[in-house]
Amino acid sequence: MATARPAWMEKPKPAVTLLKGVVIGLIVLVMLYPFWYVIVASLSTAQGLRQHTGFLLAPAEFTLDAYRAVLSGDIVTQSLLVSVFVTVVGTLLAVVLTVLTAYGLTRTRDVPGSRALLYLILFTMLFTAGIIPNYLLIKGVGLLDSLGALILPGAISAFNLVVVRNFFMELPGELLDSARVDGAGEWRILSQIVVPLSKSIIAVIALFYGVSYWNEFFNALLYLQTPQKWPVQLVLNQYVVQASPLEQISFGSRMDSQTAPRTIQMAIVIVATLPILVVYPFLQKYFTKGVLTGAIKG
Amino acid sequence: MSQATSANPPRQVRSDRVHQRPQRRLSARILSARWMYVFLLPGFVFFVVFRYVPLLGTIIAWQDYSPFLGITGSPFVAWDNFVALLSDPEVATATRNTLVLSLLQLVFAFPAPIALSLLLNSLLSEGVKRSVQAIVYLPHFISWVVVISVWQQVFGGAGMFTGVVESLGGDPINLMSDPQLFPAMVTAQVIWKEIGWGTIIFFAAISMIPTEQYESAVVDGAGPWRRMWHITLPGIVPVIVLLLILRLGTVLTVGFEQLLLQQPAVGADAAQVLDTFSYFRGIVGGDWGLATAAGLVKGAIGTALVIAANKFCKRFAGHGAF
């Protein structure tokens, strides 16, 4: 046996093992097959897909045409660039703001007023104003139809802030105190002691922010009118979910008035998902750790 | 705070103080923590502008708001918007749909991760357990737009499912646009997306159960099934109760994007919930005051429910979530 097993955990009956195996196999299949179906369908020809309507295990007449069409510089390509920009800039900004604010809130006894601020922030987790007042604010500050409307409103999540603050509070206080005695300023303590010790939690919140910026849909629907500024999720909604005819949303270079072929729809789904699938395995190991620190002590 | 106000920080420690640290003058404490204020400033501005200013904006719930007149120019109409909500047939539909979907999720989507974590916990191989976990967490990180797109490709009018049905001689079938099936589909989508993620907290609870309990159960001759039933399950009951009560607190919130995305396909009768009502009535329909009032009422009831749920938890389970 590869893993150490407590002596009291005897091997179960073969029938039970088989049953569990079948159930778990089914669960894995239900979780993964839809993705697989969309991947192989996006690699099929439109003709092939029309003939093979049922289950697909491999592409029906393999071709990269759908991806060529999607990445040829039209609205989907443009929207991918927008999404990458929003995700990179947003995540950087959000991580910096969250770390600074979280650290600022760690010494409520020494920093007059910071406890009050903490309560103000916690209150926002409990009660929010709703869609319309947020829309009016974005309009009022002139962010309507700008990418700032996608980046700024999500720049600090109170939940992530609490997770990071809790992590900072667990760091050995003697270490920070002795640095203070040695004359280190708060900036040096934060940048040279606290942040290096907190890499794992910073990776977790960077992932959370990155995923939420990449997946941002409703803010884009609400605040952006110009199709050139749309992120990929919004394009996906128009092309695929609502199946709008192409001419409505392309920049005028195409004149088709038909819904995008299914292969193209699938290719858009894949390019909108791929970045998540790519970063997922690398950061997966940090997930539970970060979530639990937040959930249990938050 | 200028240099002058804090020129000589008084440093004497009074012996009758019970505080752990000597209390210095406020201005001196502020000055010595000045870097902390620099760190806090952007966050402070963020929360004021993006979280508290919109709260002030809810004042338009008491106005006949018009974008041309603005908040300062629109006339106040007292409680008219709230009264109008009560007699609006769409509000009644949205409330009913919200409660039905919420109830379905409570009955089916809430227990699903518990069952899955018990199943995975019973696996002997750590490697298999971890790989399965990694797979079932995945949909949590996929956007609702992608999830609905994928479901459409599988269950929609041109999708795989209808292809299979037709090849077996059945009629074409679109499971994604049928208002009758919609509540079931919504619940299934939620389970598919969140079942794995939901197991995390139950796994943590299971790992807290002392191993000795299992050891002595084995000595007493309890098999795997009885150990699960009499040790694992009771061991996580406090967490289940806590999460259930907190879930009851959010009974008025059902997946907003999930429903918004599917509403054009299934129609408002089946897919209008309280949050989407606010959006369609306000942003799309231009009935700003009424939509804000709807959001405000929903928010207030939701907050009251969460606070009540937390109070209840504290009394019942000895600790709340906050």
Inter-chain touch A284–B151, beta carbons under 8 Å = no
Residue A132 reports pLDDT greater than 70: yes
Inter-chain touch A11–B214, beta carbons under 8 Å = no
- Predicted local confidence at residue A253, as pLDDT: 45
Mean of pLDDT values over B52-76: 89
d(CA A34, CA B155): 10
- Of the candidate ranges A96-105, B39-48, B215-224, the one whose mean pLDDT is the lowest: B215-224
Residue B318 reports pLDDT greater than 80: no
Q: What is the mean pLDDT of chain B?
A: 86
- Predicted local confidence at residue A254, as pLDDT: 47
Q: What is the mean pLDDT of chain A?
A: 85
Q: What is the CATH number of domain B83-317?
A: 1.10.3720.10
Give the chain B residue nearest A218 (alpha carbons).
B257
Q: Which two tokens stand for residue B321?
A: 């979530």
- Predicted local confidence at residue B239, as pLDDT: 87
Q: Alpha helices of chain A — where are they, by DSSP H?
A: 14-42, 46-51, 65-70, 75-104, 114-126, 131-140, 148-151, 158-170, 173-181, 186-189, 195-197, 199-214, 218-223, 232-236, 246-249, 262-283, 287-297
Inter-chain touch B127–A153, beta carbons under 8 Å = no
pLDDT band at A26 (very low <50, low <70, confident <90, very high): very high
- Name the residue among B29, B215, B322 with its Cβ closest to that of A112: B29
CA distance B23 to chain A (A): 10
pLDDT tens per residue, range A150-168: 999 999 999 999 999 999 9
Answer for the pair B2, B28: CB distance below 8 angstroms, yes or no: no
d(CA A292, CA B153): 35
pLDDT tens per residue, range A61-115: 888 888 988 888 788 899 999 999 999 999 999 999 999 999 999 988 888 999 9
Task: List all residues of chain B from 32 to 71 with a beta carbon under 8 Å from chain A.
Answer: 32-33, 35-37, 39-40, 42-44, 46-47, 49-58, 60, 71
- Amino acid at the residue A9: M
Inter-chain touch B50–A31, beta carbons under 8 Å = no
Residue A285 reports pLDDT greater than 70: no
- Amino acid at the residue A232: V
Phi, psi (5° rounding) for residue A245? -60, 150
Q: Percent of chain A at pLDDT above 70?
A: 85
Burial of residue B208 (number of CB atoms within 10 Å: 0-12, 13-18, 19+): exposed
- Name the residue among B52, B71, B261 with its Cβ closest to that of A237: B261
Instruction: Tell me which CATH homologous superfamily contains domain A69-297.
Output: MetI-like (1.10.3720.10)
Residue B19 reports pLDDT greater than 60: no
Decide if A218 touches B, using CB distance below 8 A: yes
The full length of chain B comes to: 322
Task: List all residues of chain B from 82 to 111 with a beta carbon under 8 Å from chain A.
Answer: none
- Predicted local confidence at residue A258, as pLDDT: 58
Decide if A184 touches B, using CB distance below 8 A: no
Decide if B317 touches A, using CB distance below 8 A: no
Which has the closest alpha carbon to A298: B308, B242, B118?
B242
**B42 or A174: which carries more pLDDT confidence?**
B42
Give the chain B residue nearest A237 (alpha carbons).
B145
Residue B36 reports pLDDT greater than 70: yes
Burial of residue A48 (number of CB atoms within 10 Å: 0-12, 13-18, 19+): middle
CA distance A251 to chain B (A): 22
Of A5-19, A90-104, A284-298, which has the strongest mean pLDDT? A90-104
Q: Which two tokens stand for residue B306?
A: 């969460």
- Predicted local confidence at residue B82, as pLDDT: 94
Residues of B in contact with A5 (CB under 8 A): 124
Residue A128 reports pLDDT greater than 60: yes
Percent helix, strand and coil across chain A, each to the nearest 5: 70, 0, 30
- Of the candidate ranges A109-118, B2-11, B111-120, B258-267, the one whose mean pLDDT is the lowest: B2-11
Q: Which two tokens stand for residue B313?
A: 């938890």
d(CA A111, CA A186): 12
Decide if A181 touches B, using CB distance below 8 A: no
Q: Percent of chain B at pLDDT above 70?
A: 91
- Predicted local confidence at residue B320, as pLDDT: 59
Residue B225 reports pLDDT greater than 50: yes
pLDDT tens per residue, range A193-230: 999 999 888 988 998 899 999 999 999 999 999 989 99
d(CA B262, CA B267): 8
Task: List all residues of chain A from 88 to 147 with a beta carbon under 8 Å from chain B.
Answer: 97-98, 100-101, 103-105, 107, 109-112, 114, 117, 120-122, 124, 126-137, 141
Mean of pLDDT values over B105-114: 95
Burial of residue A173 (number of CB atoms within 10 Å: 0-12, 13-18, 19+): exposed
Mean of pLDDT values over B133-153: 91
Inter-chain touch B33–A110, beta carbons under 8 Å = yes
Decide if B221 touches A, using CB distance below 8 A: no
DSSP conformation class of B221 = T
- Predicted local confidence at residue B126, as pLDDT: 82
Decide if B273 touches A, using CB distance below 8 A: no
Inter-chain touch A121–B47, beta carbons under 8 Å = yes
Asked if ipTM goes beyond 0.90, one says no
Task: List all residues of chain B from 229 to 258 with a beta carbon under 8 Å from chain A.
Answer: 256-257
**A245 or A173: which carries more pLDDT confidence?**
A173
- Predicted local confidence at residue A290, as pLDDT: 58
Burial of residue B12 (number of CB atoms within 10 Å: 0-12, 13-18, 19+): exposed
- Predicted local confidence at residue A298, as pLDDT: 38
pLDDT tens per residue, range A228-274: 999 999 999 988 888 776 554 444 444 444 567 888 889 999 999 99
Task: List all residues of chain B from 154 to 213 with a beta carbon under 8 Å from chain A.
Answer: 154, 158, 160, 162-164, 166-167, 192, 196, 200-201, 203-204, 211
